[in-house]
Amino acid sequence: DMATLPLRARLAKQLLHLMRRFGPRAPQPGGEHPVGITLVQDELAQLLGCSRQRVNVELKAMEREGTLRSSQRGIVVLDLPRMEALAQQESAD
């Protein structure tokens, strides 16, 4: 998966995995889903096998779309169905 999927799909899949593994078990107010672990972009890039700059571009695009919110405290998934759809993406846009 991680070798053949586009970066956005790999990033979405990795964030969902981290959210399910480290995020809170109880539903959060407002439908927000914290990832539950704080990673710097360099660490995310290493997990995905790409550069920090490319991770930054994808995170900013997802933020503009309203899929997630990124801050120094961590990443919060705002639109879980959209994030899951991105993770299922098979070809580059």
Q: What mean pLDDT do residues 46-53 have? A: 94
pLDDT 10s digits, 14-31: 999 999 999 888 767 778
Residue 92: predicted pLDDT: 47
What number is the average pLDDT over the span 48-61? 95
The CA distance from 40 to 68, in Å, is 16
Tokens of residue 54, six digits: 């490319």
61 has a pLDDT exceeding 50: yes
Q: Please, are residues 28 and 68 in contact by the beta-carbon 8 Å criterion? A: no
Query: Lowest-confidence range among 18-22, 40-44, 87-91?
Result: 87-91
Q: What is the DSSP letter of 59?
A: H
So what's the pLDDT on residue 2? 63
Q: Residues 6-11: what's their mean pLDDT?
A: 94
Does residue 85 have a pLDDT over 90?
yes
In this structure, what token pair is assigned to residue 2? 């991680």
CA distance from start to end of the chain: 17
